[in-house]
Each structure stands twice: as structure tokens, then as C-alpha cells.
Amino acid sequence: MLDPLATGTALAVEHIAPLMRLLAAHLPTLDITPMLNPATGCITAPGSACREGGHRILLGTLDDAVDALTVRSEPGLVARMIATLGGGTTPHNTTQPGAAHAEAVRAAAAALDHDDRTTGTGEHERLSSVHQRRSPIPAAVAAYAATGHLDPTRWRSHSEARQSVLTHAVMRGASTADVLDALPSPEWSGVRAAYARYADPDTAAARDVTRALTWAAATAEEFRHPTHENKHTGGHSSFIDDPVRRRWLAHSLVWADHEFTGTKIRWSVAAVLQALAYASGVAGELVDGVPVVAMGGRGLSHAAGLMTETTVFAVLRMLREREGSPLLLVTRGAGHLADRYALTTPTAAPPTTAQIAAARVEAVHPAWSVLGLRCRRLYDEIAARQNDAALRHPPPNPHHDTAVRTGCTAANLFAAARIGTSSGYDILADLTVAGLVTSPRPGTYAAGPRTLDDIAVNAGIARIRRDRITRHRAERLLWRAWLEQRFAPPPPDTAAPHHDSIPTVPDDASALFGDEERYWTSLMATGPPDHHTPDTGVETTATAIALLGHLLGARILT
């Protein structure tokens, strides 16, 4: 069977291999070896000669075949087929627990990535504009494209050199049609000469462009114009003025500081609590003045600064079970629905006005996944104090010692953050090395020249976040497919019944039940049937005595 992919979709062998292995597990006679061949594959058109003799025969009408190749399948077909075949739940031919699920997630994520990162169909398929590079092609690459002169310090063969030219062109938005149109031009004479040894140069070039596009779609970064960039300067988001959620977050952080002082999980709990407050403002509701939110652990992991999903699940479980917690499980999630939580008042002293003012109902910055969540409280204290001081008393001299003026001394910071002296100095050292904090005088600290956005850019947080979002989409796709398989009604039985072996039910069911009732009435009236050998009771008594002696050790007393 031939099922064409969606128009403009191309998958590499490593992306189609998990699907073929799942098909082989369900179809024992299927030979998947030809489809795993990276060079040719095994698509043979009807009418082609068979090796054993004869020709391939088209099943169905020609119109149906033309329609299938014209309309093609929907985008995301491979990901849905992997999910339908149970790739996310059943390990096939592996001894590693969860290996099949991880492989299925990777394959589904690759298929979703390709669909999201390309646009156009057929020869006009290209990278979407948001993933295209804006910089010019390197001079060495452009020189080879025009002259065909091989630089041995850069490439080992003409094949590598021409593929480099095609890859740079594809990464800047070129399609197969664009490349074929450019080959006759003087700027591409070197590439044209490199393909001259092929019987069909255009076909060979189109094949290499497809390979370059598949690779570029799998590894594309987002290249945006340097217009506006969001900067995390210690300010507050649009939800900061919400008094209900802001007070709940401040109260919850006071409770967490008291409950988890001196423990490593304290900072993870604080991040999850802030993520819950933010999620309730984005996707939650107020029920009788109480914030209520239903969001899964995967979604909360993004709002908690790209915290690992397992840590989020562990913190939520601990908060649900802890007495006096600010989190109450209202409805347990089932199927597609996430757990529903009410953000309640914890059993802790009410927060002060300063603590409420410092609470920020916003997502935790993902840069803390690189620096560590334990550094966040001290940095927020320094940033908040400097921002508040700058608003109240703008310095007349820009070179004035901001740290002393705002009271950002080590002792004050450690007391406000409820951190020990030894741990506090370790954290300040980490922040200083990262460039987020400076020490203008011994014992005083101020915000450094770098920002959290700078840390995120250098660490490639944007790519990590996109990869996690794609992985979560693939996992949800597999989960929903499993739910549909698990709870879908069975297909209707369309097979004709065998009248010779299965009795039919009369149209009037009361007649059948009436006969059954009369049968039981007659049976109860006549009693059990007579035995040919009358039962005198002697054998029954002897059997009972023997059983008592065997089980209980009973003896007959004379």
C-alpha cells in the first residue's frame, strides 16, 4: 500500500524508521528492510516489472490512485500513525523499559517539527521565514558556487562543497525550484559544473536540496530581525496588580520559607507556587474569591523556569499531601483533563506589606534553569531594592554608590531572603561570576551589567524551550491516541451470523421469558428426579466421618 505524505512534507530515514518497526511488530510478514535503505527506498509504481516475473498490479481504480497522489494525506500523518500503533505505550523488541515510548516521542516530535518549520509544496517547499537566516552567504561558499574551485582546507571533495552551497541557500529560504532556476546563472556555474557528471543533473540537484531542507528543518533556529526584545529588568508583568493572586503568592512564599528552611526543595517549591499563581491568572478563574486553576505538570514546568517535569510532579504531590499547604486538590484529572487546584490560604503568619509588594505574579525566568533556582531570591532582592530606591529617590549623580544607598549589604540581603551566611556568600559568588551582581564596595552588592536575558541567549534557552514544547506536543499526541484506543467503543460486528449454530431471538421477547418462567415453576413443583439407586444415607455418613478424621483427626468413640 502506498500512502503519500502531505504535500511539502519530507522525512529522513531516521524519522521513518520507528514507524516501520512498529508496523513490523503488528505485521509479521512485512519486510521493512527496503524502506530503511537511505538511498532508494522501496516505492515501485504499478506496471513495473517484478524480479520474480510479471508486473505490479494497481489495486482499485486509476481515478482513486490519481486522487490519492493529488490530495495526499493530512499533515502529521507519521506522528498519528506512530501513536495509533501504540508506539507511546508498548515496547516492541526491546529490553529497555520505556525505550519504545522515547523513540516514538522523538519520531513524532521530528514529524511535528518538520511540519512547523517549512512552508510551500513540492519544488516550492522552503523554510518558513521565521527560521531563515538573514546574513549573507560566506565568501568561501559563494566563491565555490561561482568558480567551482575547491578549497582543501574547508572541504575534502566537490560533493561536500556543493552540498555546503545548497545548505546555505536553503537556510536562506531557497526552494528546489529556486536552486534549479539559479543553476544556469554565472553565480552558480561552479555548482553546475559539479553536477555535470550526472546523467540528469537537475534530478541529482533536487535530491540534494531535499536532503539539505530536511536537515535544515530539523536543526533550524529562529533568526529574528533585531527589532524589539523583551528584557527582564526586575519589573512586573500584567498580573502584578491582581491583589488576590499577589497576596496568595506572598502568603504561600512565607509558608514555604517556614516549612522548608534549610532544605534544597525550598526553591523548587517557591518556583512552583509562583508558576501556579501565574497559571491561575492566565488560564484560571476566581471561584468565590479563590483562584482555581487546572494545568498539567508539563505546562507548569514552562512557567516554573523550565523546571524538569519530574520535579514539578514531585512538588505538586508533596503540596497536596502536606498539612496546611496553600494548594488544595479539587478535582483529580482524568483523560485529557488536568488536575484542578484551588489556591487556598496556608497556615502561616500573614505576609507583610513589603512581602506583598515583592511578590511577582509572573512566570519564572528560564535563565534560572542554568544558574540554579537557589540564586533567584537574592537576585530578586537586589533588583527590587534598587528599582524601588530609584523610583523614590533618583540619584543626582549616576556614579553614586547605589548599593549603599539602597541598603544592599550582605547582612541585609541574607536576612531578607532567610538564607544562611555561608550559603548566601556562595550564591553571591555565583551571581558575581555570571555578571548579574557586582560588589562596588566590600560587603555591598548591586545589579551587574548582564541581565537574565543575556544569560538565556548565551545558554540557548530559546532552543531548549522550543524543543521541550515540541516534545510535550508529541507526548500529548501519543497519550490522546492511547486514550482513544483504550476507551473507544468496539467496532460494529458486520459479519453475518451463522444461523445453524447461533439461535435467533424471537421478535416477541416476552414469549421467550414466559417459557423460561413456566419451566422453572414446573421444575420447583415436581422436585428433583428419582435416582435408579435409592440413597439410604449410609454412604454419605461414612464419607463425612472419613473427612472429619482426615482433616481434624477425629476418632469414633465406642
Q: Domains in the chain, ordered, with CATH?
A: 13-119 (no CATH), 127-219 (no CATH), 243-366 (no CATH), 373-450 (1.10.10.10)
Distance CA 102, CA 96 (A): 10
Residue with cell 418462567: 517
Distance CA 306, CA 373 (A): 11
Q: Which of 329, 313, 323 is nearest to 268 (CA)?
A: 313
Three cell numbers written together for 448: 551587574
Q: Which of 126, 171, 168 is nearest to 143 (CA)?
A: 168
Q: What is the mean pLDDT of each run of 10 residues along the chain (558 residues)?
A: 59 69 75 70 71 77 77 65 53 46 65 69 83 87 91 87 91 91 92 91 91 80 46 44 89 92 90 93 87 89 90 92 91 83 90 87 91 91 75 54 60 87 90 89 86 89 84 79 72 60 50 58 62 56 71 67
DSSP string, 295-350: --HHHHHHHBTS--HHHHHHHHHHHHHSTT-SEEEEE---TTPPPEEEEPPPSSPP
DSSP string, 217-237: HHHPPP---SS------S---
Sign of torsion over alpha carbons 529, 530, 533, 535: positive
Q: Look at residue 199 and give its three-state secondary structure.
A: coil
Q: Provide long-range contacts, Cβ within 8 A and 24+ apart, for 215-220.
A: 215/12, 215/167, 216/127, 216/131, 216/167, 216/170, 216/171, 217/113, 217/114, 217/117, 217/118, 217/127, 217/131, 218/12, 218/110, 218/113, 218/114, 220/117, 220/127, 220/131, 220/171
Sign of torsion over alpha carbons 359, 363, 368, 369: positive
Residue with cell 514529524: 111
Asked if residues 166 and 137 have their Cβ atoms less than 8 Å apart, the reply is no
**The pLDDT value given to residue 126:** 87
Report CA 333 to chain centroid distance, whole Å: 18
Three cell numbers written together for 212: 539539505
